[in-house]
Chain A
Amino acid sequence: MNPYVRYFLKRLGWSLITLTVAVMLNFLLPRMIKGNPVDTIVSSMTQGMTNQNDIKRVYETFEKEFGIDKPLWQQFFIYVGNIFRGDLGTSFGQYPKKVSTILANAIPWTLALQFPAIITGWILGNILGAVAAYRRKLFDKIVLPVSMAISSFPFFAFALIVLFFFSATLHWFPIGGGYSFDLIPTLSWQFIGSVLGHYALPFLTIVIVAIGGQAIGMRSMAIYELNADYILYAKLLGIRDRKVVRYVFRNAMLPQVTGLALQMGTMVGGALIAEIVFNYPGIGSSMFSAIRQLDYPLISGCTLMITFAVLIANFVIEVVYGLLDPRIKMAQLEDN
């Protein structure tokens, strides 16, 4: 079999297993609490409710959706079956809206924000790191400490500071939200302009923090490669500097691609919290309000979607990695 196809199938298999484990965790973890979790949740849900009908409604919704009278393994299959049908239950907080409808409204915002921002940050960070490694003295003294300082700020802390200075104080950017609240989402220039205006600051925040982390990683990888024997040999052979740099860059790049795959979960998690700061209408903000209202089905739907998105992103990166790394084509690299 073609070694790349073999690599592809292997990665696909692992991704599917990881997905299964993730879905099981999504199902099992909240149910591991002592006593009947549904009772606990329903009693705290209905604490402020005085209307008997409301309480009954919550109970009935729960009973139907979770099949709490059945054994755990049967509940799990009901749960998986529901996921396959795209049915994630009914929201408590925004009753009677379906969780899938709420998520369908939120996901495009999050995807449109995070995907381009993380990729842009990654690319710029790698270029910056490589340049810092090559021009040690000039860039190194400035780029490295600044990157260290910025990347050690969590997304949301940076977001808070940036939002306060540029929006609340200087009024350069809107103070949050996905678009001006007096507009109705339509495909007009005014609306698109408003969306872009609200997009700029969250986007830049994620890009800047991502650049810092990537630049540090790339710099040390590139320095490691620059000290490798093959570089000395290439230089002795008289190969032009530009070409040598290209070799270095390509070799240092590979661990960075793997690194992106591994960091995806952490980065997406951080960016989701930053969404709350910007009050951005994505998954992060949905989750924030869901947790405040103890909207259990919506929380569960959010965590499931986040896991899906991160696992898919991971798989895509691994597939691309297989194309980039010639060792995989030669099937010399058995694992990892």
Chain B
Amino acid sequence: MTPRDRQEPSFAAAPAASTTGSRPTSPSTRTGSAAGLKSTQFRREREPNWRELEQMLDRLDKHGAVTLSSAELTRLPILYRATLSSLSVARNISLDRNLIDYLESLAARAYFRVYGPKSSLAAVLGDFFWHVLPQAIRQLRWHITLAGFLLILGALCGYWLTSANEDWFYSLTDPSMMGGRNPTASTEALRQSLYDPLPGAKEWLAIFGSSLFYHNAKIALACFGLGFAFGIPTFLLSLGNGLTLGAFIALFASRGLGIDALGWLAIHGTTELFAVTVASGAGFALAEALLFPGRLSRLDNLARRGRLAGIVAVGAVLMLLVAGALEGLGRQLILDTDTRFAIGGTALCFWLLYFTLAGRRGARQQDMDETYG
């Protein structure tokens, strides 16, 4: 007896004396000796194809698409469809669990390859910048216009108030952000703050630029995120930013430095303020989705508009990245007001052209609505 035999319980009543006797000679069909099973025959015919596909997938998993010749790459979808058809057949004719599991697994693996992501990261990002972002911005143009209007309104009020009475400056600005620029400062000190680079700035301005970015990004994301509170904080923030801006310019204008201050602001401000405006516009879009849900439920509408607004907010953060670079580098290195205006103006034109013209053709609107809308 082999060791395995010894472990098996002896359950038969009769002694295991003979290997030939004690068997019923069944009069019924001798099922065991008929022709091979249909499912076995099926497997024998199709198995080479499955094995070929399996090996191809193994190679793809290990080494990537480069290892397959173009002929093999053409064959992949064919083998995939053949396997799917095998799976459908097997489900109907075979009770071999392992076979069905295997085919299911093989078909799924091939399916991931055949319907896997086709585009590269560069292509996706390119599509985002050329189609998705500008189209999203255009869809929210009125919200952004409203935010811009509030900013300008705030700036005019701030300017007017501070020009009339300089004490308003203290109420309209945050002293910690102003770094000693206030009505008590001398005209010379104010001029210096516009033209003298910060001490040691040349080495560290790059870092300075990226830390400014974080500060601005926080403001922009607050403008966007607070849109959830029915847009009221966004409304106040937009107006408040404008008031600060107006007060700031009024202070410099009162010393005859108005144009210089505008130039100082313009080099990065056109981008930065535009970005904050865009973010506020996205916030208003959220608020609108909540306040006027239309035919959809508030939550559904928020999800629908939220994606669009999210894309616009991402765009605003990217603009702030540019603004941070301009502020950190440009403002400290370029001290000529005309050049500052030229750079700021160019940036503004660039953004306006980009948002209005980019990706008009290419008909990606449909895709975008499906993916993001």
Chain A complexes with chain B? no
- Chain A positions within 8 Å of B, measured between CB atoms, are none
- Chain B positions within 8 Å of A, measured between CB atoms, are none
